[in-house]
Structure 1
Amino acid sequence: MNQNFDIIIVGGGAAGFFTAINIVEKNPKLKVAILERGAEVLQKVRISGGGRCNVTHAIFEPNELVKFYPRGEKELRGPFHQFCSGDTIEWFEKHDVELKIESDGRMFPVSNSSQTIIDCFLKATQKLGIAVLTGQSVQSIFKKDTAWKIETQTENYLAEKLILATGSNPKVWEMLQTFGHVVVSPVPSLFTFNIKDSRIKELPGVAAQVTVKVKDTKLTSAGPLLITHWGMSGPAILKLSAWGARILHDKNYQFTIFINWLNDADKEDVEKKLKDLKQEHAKKSLSKKSPFELTNRLWESLVLASGIEAETKWADLSKTQLQNLASQLTNGTFQVNGKSTFKEEFVTAGGIDLKEINFKTMESKLHENLYFAGEIVNIDAITGGFNFQNAWTSGFIVANAI
């Protein structure tokens, strides 16, 4: 027995729900179903942003917003002109969810709970009569005359239009390859660096504003860095991991980084400053108090790493020691040996090749009435609400096209 719908959306996550709701709000006559393989819908929404759901980011200019997408920067320009972060705020306001902006630009529901977003979506699907069917793992997809036939373990479905919003689901990617779609193989995108190094071993929890470069590549990133028990994390590292997802994967996560602990200070300028300090604080002990915007503990660690003993006075600093210290501060070399997944918000680089999608409609260029929304395509962003914004925008565009 086939269950017939006008539209079937595979994937009960952020993109799937947003697409479904927008379709039926624009056209209440359509019969729409969401198929979710798990027992629960919206699981990633629940855990995102530490359980608060980082809905979007307060960057309202499309040409600025695209700069946060290592994959998809060019393709998202047009879509963001149709539906950007300002539209997201307005959409949620209309659905009785107020968002707030935090100091770093991330936006959350005022309630500080991802449950608010989940409730908003569930309420809307109920009100609009959208069928939400859980425990429906898609086994196969066929093109049948003018319809799509979708088989799960327990049911068969027919629909005129099919929307895939399955995120990073290898099984669905495999099915699409049988339809001639090219899938860019997935590699991890947001991860932290495993580094064993005596300079940072005793400093978990210490943060600094830095510039990080990866040796023998053009990869560079600036921002806050956080020292952890296993190495380094924080926005500067996560940004680097996103932009370098492919390159670092090819290096098997074994590579060298250079860190400027003084953000972008120049080595010569730092040497000059150290010489001035040597005059100024001649009688004082060097390692006790940081003269830069670094914590005292990090400063002390870098002083020791420069071959300077703990009790050394500024006046006794040799020329070589001074140069070593300037190097440690502006160009510290660290070996990265492996990676760790960042929180539960696992993001991959990879998915449907962007050349095969019409970004005015998010429809497949190879098959009529087949649409994509969210992370199933080869688009991903750095952390901060950008991956959700891609889900909202692509869902809105699919709904508009339909």
Structure 2
Amino acid sequence: MNSKYDIIIVGGGAAGFFSAINIVENDPKLRVAILERGKEVLGKVRISGGGRCNVTHACFVPDDLVKFYPRGEKELRGPFHQFCSGDTIEWFERNGVALKIEDDGRMFPVSNSSQTIIDCFMASVKKLGIDVLTGQSVQNIFKSETYWKVETSHETFACKKLVMTTGSNPKIWEMLRDLGHSIIDPVPSLFTFNIKDARIKDLMGVSALASVKVKNSKLEASGPLLITHWGMSGPGILRLSAWGARELSDKKYHFAIQVNWLHDKTQEETLSLLKELKIEHSRKAVSKKSPFEFPNRLWESIVLASGITAETKWADLTKNQLTDLASQLTNAEFQVNGKSTFKEEFVTAGGIDLREINFKTMESKILPSLYLAGEIVNIDAITGGFNFQNAWTSGFIVANSIAIGK
């Protein structure tokens, strides 16, 4: 096989494939190869969204879309004006993949299978004559005046332009650091909280819309909170973990959170509401039925945590018990001791310093003719299809700038 190419893309994931396909669609004469270190390509696409592939999110206004990115908000505004969620939908439909919107705004293939996306990409690379070479672990990268040399575990490649889409790969970051780039040290971004607490011990699977704050910090988030056998998860917790990735890493994942199970009600408003319930339900047992929009099992646990027995009637509640109940409902403190990876969707905050990238072209400001797309740069998002949207947008811009500057 001829190891000389016009463009080499290192990394056979979402951003790599999207870059390669769009490059050759722009100019079919270009010889393009994708180098992947593993035996299989598109591994993250396969497992994303529980095997359904959360392709993007139904947020179509660039200035709104950027707000879902704890790192990259400012930098992505321009790129999203070039290629946004609506363009993603159009691109996939043009390539035979229809997408659908779910109630929470996440978008999936109508087929409900990530294999549809993989088949679409594999058919495109075959049709366009793009070489996909697996088992090619990059060992060294060299830059001469006119071309790049890429040494892998098997052979040496040469190319005019190099595109790096290797995601959170410390070895590649190290190589780029040696070539002059600054790397923001990676820390986990999407993770769940490990909590051992009697109040949630037997509530696995219970979910409630809640607000969560990290104690003694400005970090807070709202959304569905899911109780798991190891602690707490769900969109609310994942949002907090993404926005707090650096701060929570500094705390070594040991910190206290304050949970408001009533989402937006204050302790004073709740106390006043409880006093009304005391009159209204005076003869009923407090623990029997949740007066709020969350499951009875959670209500019962909160009642017991407030020092109220299962048999106590509303009429018999003391002033102190009402105050404690209002506090447990709106300001329940839990100790977090450690984290767990969210499913297999490992996302990191960190990567190539955003100041060293031209976001009009995704070209390195340090190394001309080197392009960077996807999670290799210090951009990450909350869960919901946003990390893939960054991959599609950055890959599209890489392809366009290569077409213009070839």
- TM-score relative to the length of structure 2: 0.98
Query: Which amino acid is the alignment partner of residue 12 of structure 1?
Result: G
- Structure-2 separation of matches of 1:326 and 1:31: 66
Partner of 2:273: 273
Give me the CA root mean square deviation: 0.8
- After TM superposition, give the deviation of residue 268 of structure 1 in Å: 1.0
- Structure-2 separation of matches of 1:174 and 1:154: 20
Equivalences for residues 318-333 of structure 1 within 5 A: 318-333=318-333
- Structure-2 separation of matches of 1:187 and 1:34: 27
Per mean C-alpha deviation after superposition, the further-off stretch among 272-281 and 59-68 is 272-281
SS at the partner of 1:74?
Answer: helix
Query: Which amino acid is the alignment partner of residue 319 of structure 2?
Result: K
Equivalences for residues 121-200 of structure 1 within 5 A: 121-200=121-200
- After TM superposition, give the deviation of residue 2 of structure 1 in Å: 7.1
Partner of 1:203: 203
After superposing on structure 2, the runs of 4+ consecutive aligned residues of structure 1 that deviate more than 4 Å are none
Matched, 1:92 2:127: no
Query: Which amino acid is the alignment partner of residue 223 of structure 2?
Result: G
- Structure-2 separation of matches of 1:21 and 1:283: 69
Per mean C-alpha deviation after superposition, the further-off stretch among 87-96 and 273-282 is 273-282
Residues 113-158 of structure 1: per-residue CA shift (max 9 Å, x gap): 1010001001000100011111100000001221000000111100
Residues 31-81 of structure 1: per-residue CA shift (max 9 Å, x gap): 100000011111111111111100000000000000000000000000000
SS at the partner of 2:141?
Answer: strand
Partner of 1:366: 366
Partner of 1:112: 112
Partner of 1:31: 31
Partner of 2:243: 243
- Structure-2 separation of matches of 1:145 and 1:400: 23
Partner of 2:220: 220
SS at the partner of 2:159?
Answer: strand
Residues 281-335 of structure 1: per-residue CA shift (max 9 Å, x gap): 1111111111111211111100110011110011110000000000000100000
- Structure-2 separation of matches of 1:310 and 1:242: 38
Partner of 1:349: 349
Partner of 2:19: 19
SS at the partner of 1:76?
Answer: helix
- Structure-2 separation of matches of 1:105 and 1:188: 24
- Structure-1 separation of matches of 2:8 and 2:281: 72
- Structure-2 separation of matches of 1:167 and 1:284: 57
Partner of 1:310: 310
Matched, 1:72 2:87: no
Contact 1:139 1:151 survives alignment (8 Å): yes
- Structure-2 separation of matches of 1:96 and 1:59: 22
Can you give the 5+ residue segments of structure 2 that lack an aligned partner in the other structure?
Answer: none
- Structure-1 separation of matches of 2:322 and 2:337: 30
Partner of 2:284: 284
Contact 1:2 1:158 survives alignment (8 Å): no
* Cα distance change, pair 362–156 in 1 and its aligned pair in 2 (3 A): same
- Structure-2 separation of matches of 1:352 and 1:177: 9
SS at the partner of 1:218?
Answer: coil
- Structure-1 separation of matches of 2:210 and 2:147: 54
- Structure-1 separation of matches of 2:395 and 2:269: 50
Matched, 1:255 2:255: yes
- Structure-2 separation of matches of 1:115 and 1:205: 29
- Structure-2 separation of matches of 1:216 and 1:280: 37
Query: Which amino acid is the alignment partner of residue 196 of structure 2?
Result: K
- TM-score relative to the length of structure 1: 0.99
SS at the partner of 1:40?
Answer: coil
Matched, 1:8 2:8: yes
- Structure-1 separation of matches of 2:141 and 2:294: 57
Contact 1:2 1:155 survives alignment (8 Å): no
- Structure-2 separation of matches of 1:43 and 1:192: 22
Contact 1:208 1:225 survives alignment (8 Å): yes
- Structure-1 separation of matches of 2:2 and 2:399: 25
The alignment of Structure 1 onto Structure 2 pairs a total of residues equal to 402
- Structure-1 separation of matches of 2:128 and 2:297: 58
- Structure-2 separation of matches of 1:56 and 1:365: 29
- Structure-1 separation of matches of 2:2 and 2:177: 25
- Structure-2 separation of matches of 1:51 and 1:335: 33
Matched, 1:398 2:398: yes
- Structure-2 separation of matches of 1:84 and 1:12: 22
SS at the partner of 2:75?
Answer: coil
- Structure-1 separation of matches of 2:309 and 2:230: 27
Query: Which amino acid is the alignment partner of residue 82 of structure 1?
Result: Q
Query: Which amino acid is the alignment partner of residue 6 of structure 2?
Result: D
Can you give the 5+ residue segments of structure 1 that lack an aligned partner in the other structure?
Answer: none
Partner of 1:336: 336
- Structure-2 separation of matches of 1:308 and 1:119: 58
Contact 1:2 1:156 survives alignment (8 Å): no
